[in-house]
Amino acid sequence: MKRCILAALAMLLLLSGCAMGEPPSGISVRAASEYTDFGSFSAGAPEPGDAEAAEALVQEVLALYPAGFSDQWGEVQILLVAELTGEEAFAHGSYAGFTLRQGEGWLMVLDVRACDAGTVHHEIAHILDGILTDAGALSETEWMAFCPGGFAYGEGDFERYPDFFADAYAMENIREDRARTFEEALRQGPGAYADRPALWLKLEYFSRAIRDHFDTEGWPEKTIWELALG
């Protein structure tokens, strides 16, 4: 339903002669024009209407972040694709998107029919994680203190640890744990992890690292992810 509304909005803007809003500086959004092989993933070109709706969704999500924040991420290219598929090793649910380093910046690939706002937040979390990890602003030792004793990524049953991870995919590796923790908090909103203290601590740690590392001049007292802390 949301995709239909966004598609209708995009068409209305086009018919009225108004251009859709531009993404924040440093970020470009475009639709793939042909089949693309990314190595571990491959995808085709989306239908124009699907691409317009997905671009509107991306801009809607980016508008939720503090003004100027994305300027500190490096160049981010967002590529909209269709029928994103991947190797069996990556087969965990649907292929809604992925993010790769691209020189000094990032390439974010989104499947126009599989992605939603949570997917965009998830991929942004990967960018933030990469920047913070490179800067030494995140400690694996500190993060593991929020996980069950003796736990190792890639092992274990989610049914044993529902209070420590957003879902089973978060147990694959530390990067997906951070991204899923961030994504799910923004999906749920304020008080997201009120009854799951380990996840609350993960989100608080990640949020604090963002505040400590990035230039936050002009930011609101609480960002959307900090509001999720309650």
Examine the domain organization and report whether 87 and 165 are in the same domain.
Answer: no
- pLDDT of res. 197: 97
CA 114, 118, 120, 125 dihedral sign is negative
Percent of the chain with pLDDT strictly greater than 70: 87
Examine the domain organization and report whether 192 and 152 are in the same domain.
Answer: yes
pLDDT tier at 46, thresholds 50, 70, 90:
very high
Is 171 buried (19+), middle (13-18) or exposed (0-12) by CB count in 10 A? buried
CA 131, 133, 138, 140 dihedral sign is positive
- pLDDT of res. 213: 98
Q: What are phi and psi of 196, to 5 degrees?
A: -135, 80
Final residue of a structural domain among 115, 139, 172:
115
- Answer yes or no: are the C-beta atoms of 182 and 125 closer than 8 Å: yes
What DSSP assignment string belongs to 65-118? Answer: SPTTGGGGS--EEEEEEEEEEE-GGG-SS---EEEEEETTEEEEEEETTT--HH
Examine the domain organization and report whether 183 and 172 are in the same domain.
Answer: yes
Examine the domain organization and report whether 131 and 66 are in the same domain.
Answer: no
Which residues contact residue 128 at a Cβ distance below 8 angstroms, ignoring those fewer than 6 apart? 73, 182, 206, 210
> What is the SS3 string spanning 146-170?
CCCCCCCCCCCCHHHCCCCCCCHHH
Which residues contact residue 157 at a Cβ distance below 8 angstroms, ignoring those fewer than 6 apart? none
Examine the domain organization and report whether 28 and 84 are in the same domain.
Answer: yes
Is 78 buried (19+), middle (13-18) or exposed (0-12) by CB count in 10 A? buried
Over its C-alpha atoms, the chain yields an Rg (Å, rounded) of 18
- Answer yes or no: are the C-beta atoms of 120 and 58 closer than 8 Å: yes
pLDDT, tens digit, 9 for 90 and up, residues 55-73: 999 999 999 999 999 999 9
Final residue of a structural domain among 84, 115, 146:
115
Q: How far apart are the first and last CA of the chain?
A: 29
Average of per-residue pLDDT across 85-98: 68
pLDDT, tens digit, 9 for 90 and up, residues 120-163: 999 999 999 999 999 999 999 999 999 999 999 998 889 999 99
Average pLDDT, the chain: 89
Examine the domain organization and report whether 110 and 126 are in the same domain.
Answer: no
Q: What are phi and psi of 135, to 5 degrees?
A: -85, -5
Tokens of 209: 């690292």
Examine the domain organization and report whether 82 and 133 are in the same domain.
Answer: no
Structural domain of 125: 117-230
Examine the domain organization and report whether 197 and 138 are in the same domain.
Answer: yes
- pLDDT of res. 92: 52
- pLDDT of res. 9: 35
Please state, in angstroms and rounded to a whole number, the distance separating the CA atoms of residues 34 and 188. Answer: 36
Examine the domain organization and report whether 80 and 154 are in the same domain.
Answer: no
pLDDT tier at 21, thresholds 50, 70, 90:
low
User: Which of the pair, 116 or 10, is modelled with greater confidence?
Assistant: 116
pLDDT tier at 88, thresholds 50, 70, 90:
low
**Count of the separate structural domains present in the chain:** 2
Tell how strand 36-37 and strand 41-44 pair up.
antiparallel
- pLDDT of res. 121: 98
